[in-house]
């Protein structure tokens, strides 16, 4: 009887450990502690600063967990909106966020004739014309670029070949094209902290810099892997 009880306890411990392991895969590595956005004034770039993570509100591209169209293709709009919500102090709740996201979809349809697969150039136009924020496009950025941008209190909207991103939350291997927000880094671990709008587990989701660098591609009509390695720095007002 004692052997049976002991075996049962062991199986229970193993089950809990396996569940915790699965949850760690879904939520990614631990992100550095967040600095409240309203308290962040920017930090001078230096090699001694090893980690930084700016705290901004998070919503997915499907705020009500409805992944039908247009939300299924709304990663660009959602990423832009996360940044604008923080920088312009819009203080959007869930319902207002969803309404504003759909307004951006309508704006794209009127402006570009489509809302799917918005390029870096089009995304810059979306940011400036809708929210009046200044941007800088970085081509072939390195890890130090991210450090300097985040240290200055700015945020990054970045495009990717989604199927190359190592995120176990994605279905069917991930989207062909994806955008997310980069908001922090860990220099010692060479990791990048994101708000990945493509999953409910995307808040403070951590990617390795190696994976970010490999996956970074603007949209290309023929082949996403032919898209240039660019991202958008959005300047804090």
Helix, strand, coil % in the chain, rounded to nearest 5: 40, 20, 40
CATH of the domain at 133: 3.90.70.10
The b/e string for 66-87 (b: 16+ C-beta within 10 A; e otherwise) is eeeebbebbbbbbbbbbbbbbb
Indicate the average pLDDT of the chain: 87
Asked whether residue 21 falls in the same domain as residue 125, the answer is no
Tell me the percentage of the chain whose pLDDT exceeds 70: 83
Check the CA dihedral 138-169-79-50 and report its sign: negative
Asked whether residue 49 falls in the same domain as residue 3, the answer is no
For 35, other C-beta atoms within 10 Å of its C-beta total: 16
Asked whether residue 22 falls in the same domain as residue 72, the answer is no
Rounded Cα distance, 111 and 118, in Å: 11
Asked whether residue 13 falls in the same domain as residue 111, the answer is no
Which residue, 61, 220, 44, 41, is CA-closest to 148?
Answer: 44
CB 198 within 8 A of CB 140: no
- Look-up: residue for tokens 């990614």? 28
C-alpha distances out from residue 130 to 90, 137, 231, Å: 13, 18, 19
pLDDT range class, residue 8, cuts 50, 70, 90: very low
Cβ neighbours for 199, distance < 8 A, ≥ 6 positions apart: 60, 167, 169, 170, 205
Write down the pLDDT at residue 42.
64
CB 184 within 8 A of CB 149: no
Query: Coil, strand or helix: which one is 196?
Result: coil
Cβ neighbours for 91, distance < 8 A, ≥ 6 positions apart: 85
pLDDT of 228 higher than 90: yes
Asked whether residue 24 falls in the same domain as residue 41, the answer is no
Asked whether residue 121 falls in the same domain as residue 138, the answer is yes
In eight-state DSSP terms, residue 151 is H
Asked whether residue 208 falls in the same domain as residue 102, the answer is yes
Domain count, the chain: 2
- pTM, two decimal places: 0.85
Asked whether residue 13 falls in the same domain as residue 46, the answer is no
Asked whether residue 36 falls in the same domain as residue 142, the answer is yes
Question: Could you write out the DSSP letters of every residue in 11-32?
Answer: HHHHHHHHHHHHHHHHH-SPPP
Q: Mind listing the pLDDT tens digit for each residue in 178-224?
A: 999 999 999 999 999 999 999 999 999 999 999 999 999 999 999 99
Asked whether residue 19 falls in the same domain as residue 87, the answer is no
Question: What range does the domain containing 15 cover?
Answer: 1-30
Asked whether residue 4 falls in the same domain as residue 109, the answer is no
Asked whether residue 69 falls in the same domain as residue 96, the answer is yes
Rounded Cα distance, 189 and 198, in Å: 24
């Amino acid at each position: 009887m004692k052997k049976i009880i002991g075996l049962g306890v062991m199986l229970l411990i193993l089950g809990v450990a396996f569940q915790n392991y699965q949850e760690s895969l879904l939520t990614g590595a631990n992100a550095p502690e967040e600095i409240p956005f309203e308290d962040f004034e920017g930090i001078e770039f230096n090699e001694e600063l090893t980690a930084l993570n700016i705290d901004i509100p998070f919503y997915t591209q499907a705020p009500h967990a409805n992944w039908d169209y247009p939300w299924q293709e709304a990663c660009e709009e959602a990423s832009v909106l996360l940044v604008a919500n923080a920088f312009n102090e819009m203080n959007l709740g869930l319902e207002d966020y969803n309404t504003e996201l759909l307004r951006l979809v309508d704006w794209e349809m009127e402006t570009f004739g489509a809302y799917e697969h918005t390029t870096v150039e089009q995304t810059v136009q979306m940011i400036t014309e809708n929210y009046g924020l200044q941007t800088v496009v970085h081509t072939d950025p390195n890890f130090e670029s991210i450090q300097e941008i985040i240290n200055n209190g700015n945020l990054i909207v970045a495009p990717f070949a989604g199927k190359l991103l190592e995120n176990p939350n994605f279905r069917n291997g991930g989207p062909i094209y994806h955008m997310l927000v980069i908001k922090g880094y860990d220099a010692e671990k060479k990791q990048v902290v994101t708000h990945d709008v493509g999953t409910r587990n995307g808040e403070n989701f951590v990617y390795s810099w190696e994976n970010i660098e490999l996956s970074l591609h603007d949209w290309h009509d023929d082949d996403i892997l032919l898209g240039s390695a660019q991202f958008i720095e959005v300047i804090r007002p």
